Amino acid sequence: MTGSTVVLITGVSRGIGRGLVEAYLSRPNHIVIGSVRDKTTPYVQELESLPAAEGSRLLLIKIESTALGDPAEAIKDVEAAGIDHIDVVIANAGGTGGGAFQPLDTVSVDMMTQAFNVNALGPVVLYQAVYPLLQKSKTPKWISISSAVATIGNMETRQTHIVPAYGAAKAALNWVTVAAHSANKWLIAVAMHPGFVQTDLGNSAAKKIGLEKATTTTEECIDAITRFVDNATREKSSGKFVNVIDGTEIPW
């Protein structure tokens, strides 16, 4: 894989994940590894037919975020395909736990557990699985796609308490991200708010708060993420919680 930039993105069937796959495939000499929950579904064929620049290709792997053994098995497939390092991991797969706007006084343990499994434990086992291949990169980067609703410092002013399961799980993901940064001086690790993006989930959330749709287009989000990843350094970026749309830091 000498000369190729290897990017692993989880949750690529639609939305931000799919947009990131398209963006990185459009760059020459990129190997894009994308995770899907089920490799037998129709969208897999759509992904496999996406255009790729010269020297670039897509490898799809199976990771169901609630199946905590999947990342380790998926990385075996990555290595079997001859890929010996990973330069960028974008932990994008996530979910609300089935009740994003269920208030704290009524949110169920099942909703909280599901949200934690997908948004926090899933990335932990992914991190453990990709760790050896990140170590082999010259400039390894771990990007956690978090959310502004994970903020604790701005919870009261931003009223983010309205999404307890999702917010608490993403806050746990932020902790994991800073732990990865703190423990590995060779790694660039960033927690990123991608904007209030016009995905199915984003537009559904927008309607809940009285908006017609979310405020950030998918194109704006993808451009901002890829630009940030390109320019991220250990000194200026790592260990931070960043709003990728405007470049500001978000209080933990």
Q: State the catalytic residues.
A: 166, 170
CA-closest candidate to residue 118, choices 89, 151, 94, 92: 94
Look at the alpha carbons of 22, 148, 178, 13 in this order and tell me if their dihedral is positive or negative. Answer: negative
CA-CA distance, 158 to 141, in Å (whole number)? 29
Distance of CA 25 to the CA centre of its chain: 17
> Dihedral angle at the C-alpha atoms of 23, 45, 147, 8, nearest 10 degrees?
-60
Please give the single-letter amino acid code of residue 77. D
Structure tokens of 77? Answer: 């497939």
Phi, psi for residue 31 in degrees, rounded to 5: -100, 120
Half-sphere exposure (Cβ direction) of 88: Cα atoms closer than 13 Å: 25
CA 74 to chain centroid? 17
List phi, psi (to 5°) of 198: -80, 55
Which uninterrupted H or E stretch holds 90? strand 88-91
Q: At what angle do helices 164-183 and 109-116 cross, to 10 degrees?
A: 30
**Nearest-angstrom CA–CA distance, 240 and 232:** 11
List all residues 6 or more positions away from 67 whose beta carbon is below 8 Å from its beta carbon: none
